[in-house]
Amino acid sequence: MHQEILDPALRVNTSGRRWKRIRLPAGLLVLGVILAIAFFPGPESGGGETVAPAFLEVWTVSAEQERPVEGVEVRVLLSSGEELMSRYTGPDGQARWEHGGGNLVVRVEDPQGRYFPQEQKLEKPGEAILFKLREGVSAVLDVNSAGPICLSADLVPQPIELPWSQLDEQPRPEAARLSMPVRAEVEVWPMEGAVIRSVTRADGHLDLEPLPPGGVKLLISAEGHVRTVLDFTLVYGKNRLGQVVLQPGGTTLKGRLRIREEATAVSFRFAGVSVKVPAEVDGNFEITGLPAGRGTLLGWSGDRELFRLPVDVEGSVLDLGEIDPELVAANR
């Protein structure tokens, strides 16, 4: 199929002859229009500059030997902790892929357990991120519950031998208050590196590795118990942290945010650690198992802080009522 093109203004040339008609394929005409749009964009296109895709480029090297490390998992996370994508570094220690920018966190983890995890914020799209990986240490601990756990002959099919000889010849009570293993969540907050999260086995035992050497805080949480924070100094080799006994109870902190913009999460900071929970659509929130004492409540919209409010935690339930984030922020 052909389309006839004839410009009336050019039908007669200067010599008086008629201009010859030209026939072009319709496909060629369409191609010309596409090229014109591509190379001569309109004023709203921003001056015709082509926007190059942004690439996330991550390099991992050994801090001791300054050599590339292959097989390290590179994870890209939102500020909420949700994972967007992941890659493994190649023989050159590099992982690279296209991304759309935004406020992201890059976390590296070694599946072989040689190097402890690290995190960095992605400040500028297109800039390379370098991780110098360091060998980690290991730790072991056991988590128990202080009870009370009442045992009776009706509930226990087999006799239980209790260490009464070690209890200063005290008479046997009808119900025993014992320390029993409990499944707990453990978070390691190091001075250097990323927060490491794990869960104990059903018997309360947990092996943690790799961890960064030096000072760390352990946040240990179990349902129905007070969240406990302990300080340890880890050295190279296996660190035996002993037995941690959690006390039943804790304060439930709750309230409701007056929504003018969507709040995605609420966190409570205390003793150098933080507990973060998602905010419900209607603004209600609840954080359980808090220890008594002073802390700070923070509201979040993505990774942007909406407010922070000092709180004195006490009692079994502390209801803050309705919180206006804008008013709290203004009063600061």
CB 254, CB 285: distance < 8 Å: yes
How many helical (H) and strand (E) elements, i.e. helices and strands, does the chain have?
Answer: 2, 24
State the maximum Cα–Cα separation within the chain, in Å, rounded to a whole number.
131
CATH of domain 137-152+173-246: 2.60.40.10
What are the backbone angles phi and psi of residue 289, rounded to the nearest 5°? 70, 25
The 10s digit of each residue's pLDDT in 149-158 is: 444 444 344 4
The domains spanning 54-133 and 137-152+173-246 adopt the same CATH topology? yes
- Looking at the predicted structure, is the pLDDT value of residue 45 above 50? no
| The pair of three-digit structure tokens given for residue 288, joined into one six-digit string | 């359980």
CATH for 54-133, options being 3.50.50.60, 2.60.40.420, 2.30.140.10, 2.60.40.1120: 2.60.40.1120
| Confidence class for position 248, pLDDT limits 50, 70, 90 | very high
What pLDDT was estimated at residue 326? 79
Mean pLDDT, rounded, for 167-184 = 61
pTM exceeds 0.75 for this model: no
The 10s digit of each residue's pLDDT in 104-160 is: 889 999 999 999 999 998 877 778 899 999 999 999 999 999 976 444 444 344 444
The CATH fold of domain 251-331: Immunoglobulin-like (2.60.40)
CA angle in degrees (0–180, nearest 5) for 216-181-195: 25
Domain boundaries, the chain: 2-45, 54-133, 137-152+173-246, 251-331
CB 313, CB 293: distance < 8 Å: yes
What pLDDT was estimated at residue 14? 43
